[in-house]
């Protein structure tokens, strides 16, 4: 039970980080990125290919993160141009469909060229007991990385001009323009950041188990559920929802079975939409 809880927190923090990338793009651009998990796994595959080419682990990871970030920057600069010209419902639908297509393309390419390529990062060392539960060094490292990046994000959004700029565009795009912020540049930045964070989650997941093309869709679905439960556009909400859903995930697979976890998580998202449409941390206006 405690071990399932701890696993849930470890997993949940990573779910949170996965949701942050999705929620930021929705908040800024009104685009639901249905290729989020695909971009994450693509980054992980790049890392594994680099490591096979004898690049040491840390530089290989940086290459993978950069690849995912650059990919998202290119999406923003090309495919999304058509989306940004639309308003309201047609913008959301067009963005969703285009990103669904991008996801299929990434899936297709990965299945065609790298069907059995996987990223697994074995972290050596004996399990370390935390609250009496032996935690693998991989889990602990993944958690540490996620927590550090989460804190960096909090500081970034609270205390830097660019971070405040991102939040201002999410809250009121016209207000942002009137204080001298270029929403298009902020959007471009957030696309890159989102790709980087997605790939980072795939890398931390690889510290506890292999990540390959079979993980893409579940990553996307998880990111979507986390973003909905946390409130679309809310970074702190995404982390809180991630931890909550991680715990729900582990407990339901511990008491019932792995086969129901996704259904239970989807149920959580559905209940959130009915009970608190703006998410845990969102405000209904």
Partner 1 sequence: MTGVSGGAGAPRLLQVAGLSAGYSGEDVVHDVSLHVDEGEAVTVIGSNGAGKSTLFRAIMSLVTPSSGTVTFDGNDVTTTATHRITRMGLAYVPAERHLFGDMSVAENLLLGSYPRRPDPERLAMVYDVFPRLAERRNQHARTMSGGEQQMLAVGRALMSKPKLLMLDEPTTGLSPLLATEAYRALAELKAGGLTIVVAEQQVPLALELAQRGYVLENGRFTLEGTTDELADDPEVQRAYLGVA
For residue 264, count other CB atoms closer than 10 A to its CB: 15
Q: Which residues pair with 128 in a beta bridge?
A: 135
Kindly state whether residue 178 participates in binding partner 1, applying the rule CB under 8 A. Answer: yes
Phi and psi angles of residue 129, each rounded to the nearest 5 degrees, phi first: -75, 125
Phi and psi angles of residue 99, each rounded to the nearest 5 degrees, phi first: -70, -30
Q: Which is nearer to partner 1, 113 or 185 (CB)?
A: 185
Kindly state whether residue 52 participates in binding partner 1, applying the rule CB under 8 A. Answer: no
Q: How many of the chain's residues bind partner 1 (CB under 8 A)?
A: 19
Site for partner 1 in 125-164 (CB under 8 A): 161-162, 164
Q: How far, in Å, are 36, 74, 81, 94, 175 from residue 86 at the CA level?
A: 22, 19, 9, 8, 20
Q: How far is CA 135 from the centre of its chain?
A: 24
Q: Which is nearer to partner 1, 102 or 193 (CB)?
A: 193
* Stretch of 103-111, 132-140, 177-185, 192-200 lying at the interface with partner 1 (CB under 8 A): 177-185
Q: Which is nearer to partner 1, 149 or 181 (CB)?
A: 181
Binding residue (CB under 8 A) for partner 1 from 181, 232, 248, 268: 181
* Stretch of 107-115, 129-137, 176-184, 204-212 lying at the interface with partner 1 (CB under 8 A): 176-184
Kindly state whether residue 167 participates in binding partner 1, applying the rule CB under 8 A. Answer: yes
Binding residue (CB under 8 A) for partner 1 from 172, 218, 273, 277: 172
- We find the least distance from the C-beta atom of residue 152 to partner 1, in angstroms, to be 19
> How does 112-132 read in b/e, with b if 16+ C-beta sit within 10 Å?
eebeebbbbbeeeeeeeeeee
* Cα gap 212→41, rounded to integer Å: 6
**To 5 degrees, how large is the angle CA 186–CA 12–CA 22?**
25
Kindly state whether residue 284 participates in binding partner 1, applying the rule CB under 8 A. Answer: no
- Residue numbers at the binding site for partner 1 (CB under 8 A): 161-162, 164-165, 167-168, 171-172, 174-183, 283
């Amino acid at each position: 039970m405690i071990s399932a809880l701890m696993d849930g927190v470890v997993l949940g923090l990573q779910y949170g980080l996965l949701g942050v990338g999705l929620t930021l793009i929705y908040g800024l651009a009104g685009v639901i990125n249905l290729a989020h998990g695909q971009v994450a796994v693509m980054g992980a595959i790049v890392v594994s290919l680099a490591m096979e080419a004898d690049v040491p682990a840390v530089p290989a990871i940086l290459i993978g993160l950069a690849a995912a970030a650059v990919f998202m920057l290119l999406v923003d600069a090309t495919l999304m141009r058509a989306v940004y010209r639309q308003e309201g419902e047609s913008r959301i639908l067009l963005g969703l469909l285009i990103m669904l297509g991008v996801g299929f393309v990434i899936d297709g390419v990965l299945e065609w060229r790298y069907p059995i390529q996987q990223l697994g990062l074995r972290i050596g060392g004996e399990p370390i007991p935390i609250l009496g539960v032996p935690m693998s060094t991989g889990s602990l490292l993944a958690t540490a990385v996620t927590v550090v990046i989460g804190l960096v994000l909090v500081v970034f959004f609270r205390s830097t001009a660019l971070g405040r700029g991102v939040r201002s565009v999410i809250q009121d795009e016209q207000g942002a323009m009137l204080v001298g912020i270029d929403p298009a540049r902020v959007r471009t930045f957030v696309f890159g950041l989102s790709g980087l964070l997605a790939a980072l989650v795939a890398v931390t997941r690889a510290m506890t188990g292999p990540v390959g093309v079979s993980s893409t869709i579940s990553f996307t679905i998880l990111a979507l559920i986390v973003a909905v439960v946390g409130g679309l556009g809310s970074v702190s909400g995404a982390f809180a929802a991630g931890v909550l859903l991680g715990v729900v995930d582990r407990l339901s697979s511990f008491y019932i079975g792995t086969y129901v976890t996704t259904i239970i998580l989807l149920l959580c998202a559905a209940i959130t939409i009915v009970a608190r449409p703006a998410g845990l941390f969102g405000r209904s206006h």
